Amino acid sequence: MKIKRLIIIFTLLLVASYTVLFYYINATHINSVDVTQINRVVKTIEKDWANGDTEKTGANGGMAYQITLVTDENYQSLLFEGIRNRHTIMDLTSVSADGQAEVLGKVIFLTDGSEEEMMKNNLLTMITVVFLMVLIMVDVVLGMVHFSILRPFGIMKQFAQKIADGDLEFRLPMDRGNYFGAFTESFDLMREELRKARQGEYEANISKKELVAELSHDIKTPVATIKAICELLKVKLGGVKFDAQAGEAAETTIAESMEKIAVIHSKADVIDALISNLFHATLEELEMLKVNVSEQPSTVIIQMFKEMDNFGKIRFKNDLAECLISCDPLRLGQVIDNIISNSDKYAGTDIDIWFDLDQTEKYLKVKIRDDGDGVNPDEWPLVCEKFFRGSGEAVQNTPGSGLGLYLARQFMEGMGGSIRCYNEGGFVVELRIKVV
Amino acid sequence: MENTILKAEMLSKTYSNGSIMQHVLKNLNIDIKAGDFTVIMGSSGSGKSTLLYALSGMDKPTLGKIDFKGEEISKYSNDRLAVFRRKHCGFVFQQIYLNETMSVLDNIIISGLLVSRDKKAIAARAKELLHQVGMTEVCYQKYPSQLSGGEAQRVAIVRALINAPEIVFADEPTGALNSTNAINVLDVMTEVNASGQSIIMVTHDIKTARRANRILYLKDGVIIDELKLGSYVKDDPKRHKILREFLERMGW
B207 versus A289: which is more confidently predicted? Answer: B207
Q: Which of B53, B50, B23, B223 is nearest to A324 (CA)?
A: B23
Average pLDDT, integer, range B181-207: 89
CATH of the domain at B236: 3.40.50.300
Assess if residue B106 is contained within a domain: yes
pLDDT of residue B170: 93
Q: Is residue B155 within 8 Å of residue B192, measured between CB atoms?
A: no
Q: How far is B203 from chain A (nearest CA, A)?
A: 26
Interface predicted TM-score of the whole assembly (ipTM), two decimals? 0.74
Average pLDDT, integer, range A367-382: 88
Mean residue pLDDT of chain A comes to: 83
Q: Which of B249, B216, B173 is nearest to B42 (CA)?
A: B216
Cα separations in angstroms, A426 against A198, A353, A397: 49, 12, 18
Report the number of distinct structural domains present in chain B. 1
pLDDT of residue A47: 82
Q: Which helix or strand (DSSP H or E) is residue A294 part of?
A: strand A294-297
Q: Which of A300, A301, A302, A322 to mutate to test the interface with B (most CBs of B within 10 A)?
A: A322
Helix axes B119-132, B149-161, angle to 10 degrees: 130
Q: Which residues of A touch B64 (CB under 8 A)?
A: 322-323
Q: Does B63 touch chain A (CB under 8 A)?
A: yes
Q: Which of B10, B23, B64 lies nearest to residue A295, judging by beta carbons?
A: B23
Select the highest-mean-pLDDT range: A251-255, A351-355, A370-374.
A351-355
Q: How far is A362 from chain B (nearest CA, A)?
A: 10
pLDDT of residue A83: 85
Residue B30: is its pLDDT beyond 80? yes
Q: How far is A309 from chain B (nearest CA, A)?
A: 24
Tell me if A297 and B62 make a contact (CB, 8 A cut-off).
Answer: yes
Tell me if A322 and B29 make a contact (CB, 8 A cut-off).
Answer: no
Residue type present at position B186: L
pLDDT of residue B109: 92
Tell me if B64 and A436 make a contact (CB, 8 A cut-off).
Answer: no
Distance, in Å, from the CA atom of B30 to the CA atom of B48, rounded to the nearest integer, reads 13
Residue A361: is its pLDDT beyond 70? yes
Residues of A numbered 357-416 whose beta carbons fall under 8 angstroms of chain B's beta carbons: which are they?
357, 359
Question: How far apart are the two ends of chain A, measured CA to CA in Å?
Answer: 67
Please work out, in degrees rounded to the nearest 5, the angle formed at the alpha carbon of residue B89 by the alpha carbons of B84 and B90. 140
Q: Are strands B37-41 and B198-202 parallel, antiparallel or unpaired?
A: parallel
* All residues at 6 or more sequence positions from B93 whose CB lies less than 8 Å from its CB, including other chains: B156, B170, B171, B172, B173
| DSSP bridge pairs for B15 | B22
Tell me if B23 and A436 make a contact (CB, 8 A cut-off).
Answer: yes
From the number of C-beta atoms within 10 Å of its C-beta (0-12, 13-18, 19+), residue B87 rates as: middle
Assess if residue B81 is contained within a domain: no
Residue A430: is its pLDDT beyond 90? yes
Percent of chain A whose predicted confidence (pLDDT) is above 70 = 93
Q: Which residues of B touch A299 (CB under 8 A)?
A: 63
Hey, where are the domains in chain A?
35-110, 226-285, 294-434
Residues of A numbered 312-331 whose beta carbons fall under 8 angstroms of chain B's beta carbons: which are they?
321-324
Q: Is residue B211 within 8 Å of residue B232, measured between CB atoms?
A: yes
Percent of chain B whose predicted confidence (pLDDT) is above 70 = 99
Q: Is residue A121 within 8 Å of residue A134, measured between CB atoms?
A: no
Question: How far apart are the two ends of chain B, measured CA to CA in Å?
Answer: 31
Superfamily, domain A294-434: Histidine kinase-like ATPase, C-terminal domain (3.30.565.10)
Q: State pLDDT tens for residues B162-181.
A: 998 989 999 999 888 888 88
* All residues at 6 or more sequence positions from A138 whose CB lies less than 8 Å from its CB, including other chains: none
Assess if residue B200 is contained within a domain: yes
Total residues found in chain A within this entry: 436
pLDDT of residue A57: 80
Distance, in Å, from the CA atom of B120 to the CA atom of B123, rounded to the nearest integer, reads 5
Q: Which residues of B touch A357 (CB under 8 A)?
A: 10
Tell me if A297 and B64 make a contact (CB, 8 A cut-off).
Answer: no
Cα-Cα-Cα-Cα dihedral sign, residues B224, B227, B232, B237: negative
Please work out, in degrees rounded to the nearest 5, the angle formed at the alpha carbon of residue B56 by the alpha carbons of B55 and B62. 50
Q: Where are the alpha helices (DSSP H) in A286-343?
A: 299-308, 329-342
Average pLDDT, integer, range B92-109: 91
Assess if residue B74 is contained within a domain: no
Tell me if A295 and B10 make a contact (CB, 8 A cut-off).
Answer: no
User: Residue A432: pLDDT band by 50, 70, 90 thresholds?
Assistant: very high
Q: Which of A228, A254, A261, A226 is nearest to A240 (CA)?
A: A254
Q: Is residue A155 within 8 Å of residue A172, measured between CB atoms?
A: yes
Q: Does B16 touch chain A (CB under 8 A)?
A: no
Q: Which helix or strand (DSSP H or E) is residue B187 part of?
A: helix B179-194
Q: State pLDDT tens for residues A185-217.
A: 888 888 889 889 999 999 998 888 888 878 887
Assess if residue B1 is contained within a domain: no
For B123-158, give the DSSP string: HHHHHHHHHHTT--GGGTT--GGGS-HHHHHHHHHH
Q: Which of B7, B9, B10, B21 to mutate to test the interface with A (most CBs of A within 10 A)?
A: B10
User: Residue B2: pLDDT band by 50, 70, 90 thresholds?
Assistant: low
Average pLDDT, integer, range A144-171: 84
> Assign residue B145 a region: left if phi > 0, alpha if psi is -120 to 50, beta otherwise?
alpha
Assess if residue B23 is contained within a domain: no
Residue A130: is its pLDDT beyond 90? no
* All residues at 6 or more sequence positions from B135 whose CB lies less than 8 Å from its CB, including other chains: B104, B151, B154, B155, B158
Q: Which helix or strand (DSSP H or E) is residue A120 part of?
A: helix A114-145
* All residues at 6 or more sequence positions from A291 whose CB lies less than 8 Å from its CB, including other chains: A328, A331, A411, A414, A415
Mean residue pLDDT of chain B comes to: 89
pLDDT of residue B240: 86
Of A110-114, A130-134, A338-342, A424-428, the range with the lowest mean pLDDT is: A110-114
Q: State pLDDT tens for residues A330-357.
A: 889 888 988 888 888 888 888 999 999 9
At residue B7, φ and ψ (nearest 5 deg) are: -140, 130
Q: Which of B9, B15, B63 to mutate to test the interface with A (most CBs of A within 10 A)?
A: B63
pLDDT of residue B1: 43
Half-sphere exposure of B176 (CA within 13 A, CB side): 15
Cα-Cα-Cα-Cα dihedral sign, residues A147, A153, A155, A158: negative
Q: How far is A291 from chain B (nearest CA, A)?
A: 18
Q: Is residue A328 within 8 Å of residue A301, measured between CB atoms?
A: no
Average pLDDT, integer, range A406-422: 90
Average pLDDT, integer, range A220-236: 89
Q: Is residue B209 within 8 Å of residue B48, measured between CB atoms?
A: no
Residue type present at position A58: G
* Nearest residue of chain A to residue B22 (CA atoms): A295
| DSSP bridge pairs for A419 | A431
* All residues at 6 or more sequence positions from A363 whose CB lies less than 8 Å from its CB, including other chains: A417, A432, A433, A434, A435
pLDDT of residue B106: 92
Q: Does A303 touch chain B (CB under 8 A)?
A: no
Q: State pLDDT tens for residues A44-101.
A: 888 887 777 777 787 777 778 888 888 888 888 888 888 888 788 888 887 776 777 7
Percent of chain A whose predicted confidence (pLDDT) is above 90 = 11
* Nearest residue of chain A to residue B25 (CA atoms): A324
For A369-434, give the DSSP string: EESS----GGGGGGTTSTT----SHHHHTS---S-HHHHHHHHHHHTT-EEEEEESSSEEEEEEEE
Residue A114: is its pLDDT beyond 80? no
Which structural domain range is residue B238 located in? 37-62+89-249
pLDDT of residue A32: 64
Q: Does B14 touch chain A (CB under 8 A)?
A: yes
Q: Is residue A44 within 8 Å of residue A60, measured between CB atoms?
A: yes
Residue B86: is its pLDDT beyond 70? yes
Residue A390: is its pLDDT beyond 90? no
Distance, in Å, from the CA atom of B40 to the CA atom of B46, rounded to the nearest integer, reads 10
Assess if residue B130 is contained within a domain: yes
Assess if residue B104 is contained within a domain: yes
Q: How far is A283 from chain B (nearest CA, A)?
A: 27
